[in-house]
Amino acid sequence: MEYFKLNNGIRIPALGFGTWKVKGDDCVNAVKAAIEVGYRHIDTAWVYKNEKEVGQALRESGIPRSEFFITTKCWNDHRGYEATMKAFQVSCENLGTDYLDLYLLHWPKPLDAESWRAMEELYEAGKIKAIGVSNYHQHHLEDLKKTARILPMVDQIEFSPRLTQEPLMAYLKEEGVQMEAWSPLMQGQVFDIEVLKELAAKYNKSIAQIVLRWNVDKGVVVLPKSVTPKRIKENFEVFDFKLDPNDIARIDALNQNIRTGADPDNFDF
């Protein structure tokens, strides 16, 4: 495993296991499979409706809580100081933990400033190791900075070879905010890209491994998701090689500003 250091000194594993749309026993089994191959960074959210299953898998692994980096997110209708405090408690109960390693505001919404105040207090009380946001553009972060006492440590955004978000990446780097990538494999669309097929052959790796390594080489925490044990294992095996800078540039050049998810400036949930 490789690690990045957040702006408060906390180390975050560069590779995490995503759990979006994974429910019930499938979630328990997938998280267990991920832990077995070496994942210690698990990413979930209240709205995924699987925090309890993630918590079950963590407990049944027999590995101490302190070895895990657990992320969850405050959903859009849980905004405001009191609502965020309550949402945090519910998520901790679901996960079976008394603290979180990372807590994120899931999407930019009204009352974010009040929610952020609650998160700052939870962070200062030691109940959250790091606080951040998800799906924030630069202007959302600028708005939050007007009232925040503590700057976000993470911004989790959609990031892939077809959506490189270079201006936002540069801004986050300048601000000292760690970037995380969701949907790095574009829900499977990366497997049809010829350049990635060529690079997979060159490095004798899978296309998924090439894309995940590209994220890590660019300093981005990446969160692949799978329920297939073979792919879960394969996705973890990205620490025995690095991409040549010219090949990183070739992947960068694939950008077409194509999203597989919603635009944070235009969503209705």
Instruction: Point out the residues that are catalytic.
Output: 48
Q: Specify the DSSP class assigned to residue 141.
A: H
Q: For residues 2 and 24, what is the distance between their CA atoms, to the nearest angstrom?
A: 30
Neighbours of 244 (CB within 10 A): 12
Q: For residues 11 and 79, what is the distance between their CA atoms, to the nearest angstrom?
A: 28
Q: For residues 200 and 2, what is the distance between their CA atoms, to the nearest angstrom?
A: 21
Neighbours of 146 (CB within 10 A): 7
Closest C-alpha among 81, 72, 138, 61 to residue 99: 72
